[in-house]
Amino acid sequence: MTDPQSRAILTVALMAAFADGANAESEIAALKRAADALGSSDPEIAAIYQDVLFGKPRLEDVAATIVAPNSKQQAFEVAVAVCDADGTHTPAEAAFLAALAKALAIEPAVAASPTTTEVA
């Protein structure tokens, strides 16, 4: 994965996994599926993990690197899949997804509609 947009999508997915402060195994599994679908390697995942945990990137900065409309939608759908992977949608996750939709300039109606896209 050398594409900056793919890296940003995976960063968003990891940020989504940590949005509620919990580390549910189902969310980590959804994150891994997203990483596999994006063709990332273990060293890349480890580097992104370090960036998110210690660098604390701003969501707006990460979202700004995602410019293609289909990549924006993919980033949002992956984040939703990760947040919903444990079967609960916490207020912290809802706030994260709302902030992500705003940062990606996704229409509120589109962001609020249920998605049928699964993480590969």
* 66-119 residue pLDDT tens: 999 999 999 999 999 999 998 888 999 999 999 999 999 998 666 666 553 444
In a domain, 119, yes or no: no
In a domain, 117, yes or no: no
pTM of the model: 0.84
Residues spanned by the domain of 32: 4-112
Note the helical H segments in the chain: 4-17, 25-37, 42-50, 59-64, 69-84, 91-103, 108-112
Would you say 31 and 94 are in contact if contact means Cβ atoms under 8 Å apart? no
In a domain, 70, yes or no: yes
Number of domains in the chain: 1
CATH number at residue 12: 1.10.3680
- Token pair, residue 23, equals 């580390």
In a domain, 37, yes or no: yes
Query: What percent of the chain is modeled with pLDDT above 70?
Result: 88
In a domain, 55, yes or no: yes
Where is pLDDT greater, at 6 or 62? 62
